[in-house]
Amino acid sequence: MVAGSFSIEIESPVEAKRLWKATLDTHNLLPKQAPGLISGITLLQGDGGVGTIRHVKFTPANKDFSYVKEKVDLIDEANMVYGFSHVEGGVLGKKVASVSYKIKYTPKPGGGCITTYSCNYDSLPGVPHDEAKIEEIKANSTGLFKQVEEYLIANPTLYC
């Protein structure tokens, strides 16, 4: 098993608090904002808080897998940090033994914020490191973030 991690930082003109509130509502927001990738998100257990299990269904545009079940591990309101891990589906059990994510929003003086998106994983024995796949995940994550960002810019009263 090989432990790995990566992170990306994205500068945004959108205020950290708005992005934070949108993150807490991703089960409603993402299927509307990324219908080409996400066909639906259902809360299987919980109300969105820590311990919530959500089922994310992908469209055929995601060629790697059709769904993932995620568990909300952390909601730190004061520091605007949101953490979740995969509990089923995705590449879990195929390429990785575990995977977890954290998203942190840091306000910038004068407006906007820096979003830090980090991932920690343990690959399964014998699965080689795939830097190209990690770069693809980073690009896809940034693209999804930019879709949400554009939506919030176009709708300045949402998540205020």
Q: What is the mean pLDDT of residues 14-31?
A: 96
Query: Residue 135: pLDDT above 70?
Result: yes
> What pTM did the predictor assign?
0.94
Tokens of 86: 């995969």
Say if domain 3-154 classifies as CATH 3.30.530.20: yes
Residue 127 CB-density burial (10 A; 0-12 exposed, 13-18 middle, 19+ buried): middle
Listed by start position, the domains of the chain span 3-154
Three-state SS at 141: helix
How far apart are the C-alpha atoms of 158 and 53, rounded to whole Å? Answer: 25
pLDDT tens profile 30-49 = 999 899 999 999 999 999 99
Sign, CA dihedral 150-153-156-158, equals positive
DSSP 80-128: TEEEEEEEEETTBTTTEEEEEEEEEEEE-TTS-EEEEEEEEEEEPTTPP
Query: Residue 122: pLDDT above 90?
Result: yes
How far apart are the C-alpha atoms of 75 and 20, rounded to whole Å? Answer: 10
Share of the chain above pLDDT 70, in %: 99
The pLDDT of residue 1 is: 66
| Partners of 40 in beta bridges | 57
